[in-house]
Amino acid sequence: MNYRAVFSVFIILLTVVVIFSCKQQAPENQVPAGHMYIPENPVLKRILEDRVLVATTDYTSTNYFIYRGEPMGYQYEMLKSFADYLHVKLELRTINDLTGSFGCLNDGDCDILAQGLTITKERSEVLLFSQPLTQTRQMLIQRKPENWRKMRTMDQIESHLVRNPLELAGKTVHIQKNTIFLTRLETLSNEIGADIAVIEHPEASVEELIEMVAKGEIEYTICDEHIAMVNKKFFSDIDVKTPISFHQNVAWAVQKGAVGLMDTINSWLEDFRKSTASVYLYNKYFKNTRTVNIAKSDYYSLKGGKISPYDEKIKEYSSLIEWDWRLLASLIYQESRFHPDAKSWAGAYGLMQLMPHNADKYGIDSLSPPSDQIKAGVQFIKLLDKQFLNKIEDKDERTKFVLASYNAGIAHVYDARRLAEKYDKDPNLWDENVDFYLLNKSKPEFYNDSVVKYGYCRGTEPYNFVYDILDRYNHYKNVIED
């Protein structure tokens, strides 16, 4: 036998096997995410197909709030970055009750729970946690003595404060309902061999309990350290230096079986946590000294509850078009950021950014007061709505066409409707019908089409205009009362 020939054939066959194994494509039951492949799962598949990520967070001074008309918050911006990574839209729901949040996740009504949850063994049995976003400790929140500013030494102040958890024996601590703080206090009570009276408040959030301590309404509460440090800036009379737990990991959570989604989250987190954007975001919400000024503002949703200086006029004139005033406020924010002297490169001006020819029709100019500007803009909206009234019966659907017309002009929207009808789409539906043709009206194959009468349109602008206004409107509905 020619062993050298046999050996040569073996090497050739081995090489072929290696080449084919290297070139083998990812299995059909996997989907790409970034630079890696992850197992598909129904939750991830639905997110990618529907192009919507539904997340829940809580309405707090760090996680999610509205300031001067703009949605903000650490968890909100993190979720927005992740949604952008997936190339999907973010739909955010606010639930301040942990039981409700867990129910939302387990019932499949939301995909991610982003509330700064600490990872515990008990929670890990029913939830799937991401890589840690950060670490925290549970801290005792207590009020400094009444006259602490007049005390000469720190020792005098310290003598009035609990620094050793043993000193909580016989004390009463109020905590948010259904949190891990209860378990920790029960364990602590057992460890020190004495009772700690724990009262779970039926409605108050962690930050509301902190405020109660600051006002002297309750004596003690518990919260995570990063929340304590932020609220210390708001309430100078509270002390947040006494830990009652070891450090714990804080993470996002998904359904127990949503492995594909969790692998995608972790893949994104691995890169995001190394980025300067991650450092900037953390510093912005947890170390920024400007948070004190934000908290004092009337336009901070957690306190003042106002969107703009013109809320009352917006409420008054929105009734003329039967719009929710928060939707009109979102439009005005989009147009001018609530600056009545704003001017665009195209010549539009004022809160509503009306073009001069439209402003003239309603008797206003660049010097008109804000109330007149709002009224004129509303009259223009009413005119646009009338053009679609007999064509699109559903008011919410019609509003999308009105918003697009407000931005791009009604003629371009009519062109997009004609294109939709020509290509067997519904001319009376916006999403994935008319919006597609308006978006693509900057392409020759569309603006040169025989049914198009008004030519080229930079379609990305009105397309994003509609989405951004409605998205911000949903944020306003989350946190601003009607």
Residue 116 confidence (pLDDT): 87
Nearest C-alpha neighbor of 265 from the set 63, 34, 2: 34
Q: Write the DSSP symbol of residue 26.
A: P
Q: How many residues does the chain have?
A: 482
Q: Which amino acid is it at 300?
A: Y
Residue 468 confidence (pLDDT): 97
* Position 40 confidence tier, pLDDT thresholds 50, 70, 90: low
The pairing of beta strand 89-94 with beta strand 30-33: unpaired
Q: How many CA atoms lie within 13 A of 75 on its CB side?
A: 26
Burial class of residue 236, CB neighbours in 10 A (0-12, 13-18, 19+) = exposed
Q: What is the mean pLDDT of residues 291-320?
A: 91
- Give the number of other Cβ atoms within 10 Å of residue 141's Cβ: 27
Burial class of residue 149, CB neighbours in 10 A (0-12, 13-18, 19+) = exposed
Per-residue pLDDT tens digits for 368-411: 999 999 999 999 999 999 999 999 999 999 999 999 999 999 99
Q: Please give the backbone phi and psi of residue 52, each rounded to the nearest 5 degrees, phi first.
A: -140, 125
Q: How far apart are CA 257 and CA 4, in angstroms?
A: 54
Q: Which amino acid is it at 386?
A: K
Q: Write the DSSP symbol of residue 25.
A: P
Q: Reply yes or no on whether the pLDDT at 46 is more than 70.
A: yes
Q: Are 254 and 43 in contact (CB under 8 A)?
A: yes
Residue 110 confidence (pLDDT): 96
Q: What are the Cα distances from residue 195, in Å, to 137, 183, 185?
A: 22, 13, 10
Per-residue pLDDT tens digits for 185-210: 999 999 999 999 999 998 899 999 99
Q: Reply yes or no on whether the pLDDT at 30 is more than 60.
A: no
Q: What are the Cα distances from residue 147, in Å, to 143, 144, 160, 237, 370?
A: 11, 8, 11, 10, 47
Residue 9 confidence (pLDDT): 41
Per-residue pLDDT tens digits for 404-450: 999 999 999 999 999 999 999 999 999 999 999 999 999 999 999 99
Contacts of 20 (CB under 8 A, 6+ apart): none
Residue 37 confidence (pLDDT): 43
Q: What is the mean pLDDT of residues 273-279?
A: 94
- Give the number of other Cβ atoms within 10 Å of residue 366's Cβ: 15
Residue 152 confidence (pLDDT): 83
DSSP β-bridge partners for residue 89 = 52
Classify 250 as helix, strand or coil. strand
Q: How far apart are CA 468 and CA 444, in angstroms?
A: 26
Q: How far apart are CA 275 and CA 202, in angstroms?
A: 40
Q: Reply yes or no on whether the pLDDT at 7 is more than 50.
A: no
Q: How far apart are CA 264 and CA 469, in angstroms?
A: 29
Q: Reply yes or no on whether the pLDDT at 308 is more than 60.
A: yes
What domains are defined for the chain? 30-135+250-296 (3.40.190.10), 138-245 (3.40.190.10), 311-479 (1.10.530.10)
Rounded to 10 degrees, what is the CA torsion of 300, 336, 322, 109? -50
Residue 18 confidence (pLDDT): 38
Q: Please give the backbone phi and psi of residue 418, each rounded to the nearest 5 degrees, phi first.
A: -65, -40
Q: Reply yes or no on whether the pLDDT at 25 is more than 70.
A: no
Q: Write the DSSP symbol of residue 244.
A: -
What mean pLDDT is reported for the chain? Answer: 90
DSSP H helices in 24-124: 42-50, 74-86, 98-106, 121-124
Q: Reply yes or no on whether the pLDDT at 276 is more than 90.
A: yes
Per-residue pLDDT tens digits for 331-357: 999 999 999 999 998 899 999 999 999
Burial class of residue 261, CB neighbours in 10 A (0-12, 13-18, 19+) = buried
Q: What angle do CA 429, 434, 436 make, to 5 degrees?
A: 130
3-state secondary structure 123-159: HHCCEEECCCCEEECEEEEEECCCCHHHCCCHHHHHC
- Give the number of other Cβ atoms within 10 Å of residue 480's Cβ: 18
Q: Which residue, chain included where needed, has tokens 């720190």?
A: 154
Per-residue pLDDT tens digits for 212-260: 999 999 999 999 999 999 999 999 999 999 999 999 999 999 999 999 9
Q: Are 199 and 172 in contact (CB under 8 A)?
A: yes
Two tokens at 260? 């594909």
Tell me what percent of the residues of the chain surpass a pLDDT of 90.
Answer: 82
Distance of CA 30 to the CA centre of its chain: 28
Q: Which residue, chain included where needed, has tokens 């008309």?
A: 69
Helix H or strand E encompassing 30: strand 30-33
Of the given ranges (41-45, 108-112, 274-278, 425-429), which has the lowest mean pLDDT?
A: 41-45
